[in-house]
Amino acid sequence: MDELSKKIEALLFVAGEGMTVSRLASALKKNDEEIKKALSELESHLTESHSLSVLKDGDHVALVTGNAVSKVVEDFAKEEFSEELTRAGLETLAIVAYKGPIKRSEIDYIRGVNSSFMVRNLLMRGLMERVRDPKDARAYVYRISSDFLKFLGISSRAQLPEYGDYAQKLEEFLKEGTENEQK
Give tens-digit pLDDT for 117-145.
899 889 888 899 999 988 888 788 999 99
46 and 90 part of one domain: no
Question: Does the pLDDT value for residue 169 go beyond 90?
Answer: no
Residue 4 confidence (pLDDT): 93
In this structure, the chain runs to a length of: 183
Question: Does the pLDDT value for residue 161 go beyond 70?
Answer: yes
47 and 109 part of one domain: no
With pLDDT > 70 as the criterion, what percentage of the chain qualifies?
92
Mean pLDDT of the chain: 85
Question: Does the pLDDT value for residue 146 go beyond 90?
Answer: no
Q: Does 129 map to a domain?
A: yes
Coil/strand/helix, residue 154:
coil
122 and 99 part of one domain: yes
89 and 36 part of one domain: no
Query: How many whole angstroms separate alpha carbon 40 and alpha carbon 35?
Result: 9
Query: How many whole angstroms separate alpha carbon 123 and alpha carbon 147?
Result: 11
Question: Does the pLDDT value for residue 180 go beyond 70?
Answer: no
Into how many domains does the chain fold?
Answer: 2
108 and 172 part of one domain: yes
Question: Does the pLDDT value for residue 37 go beyond 90?
Answer: yes
Domain around 13:
3-69
Q: Does 98 map to a domain?
A: yes
Q: Which one of 69, 94, 116 terminates a domain?
A: 69
Q: Does 75 map to a domain?
A: no
Question: Does the pLDDT value for residue 81 go beyond 70?
Answer: no
Query: If you average pLDDT over residues 83-100, what whole number do you get?
Result: 87
Question: Does the pLDDT value for residue 104 go beyond 70?
Answer: yes
Q: How confident is the model at residue 1 (pLDDT cuts 50, 70, 90)?
A: confident
Q: Does 32 map to a domain?
A: yes
Instruction: Please give the radius of gyration of the chain, using alpha carbons only, rounded to the nearest integer.
Output: 19
Q: Does 162 map to a domain?
A: yes
Q: How many Cα neighbours within 13 Å face the side chain of 132?
A: 5
Given a contact cutoff of 8 angstroms between Cβ atoms, the answer to whether 93 and 121 are in contact is: no
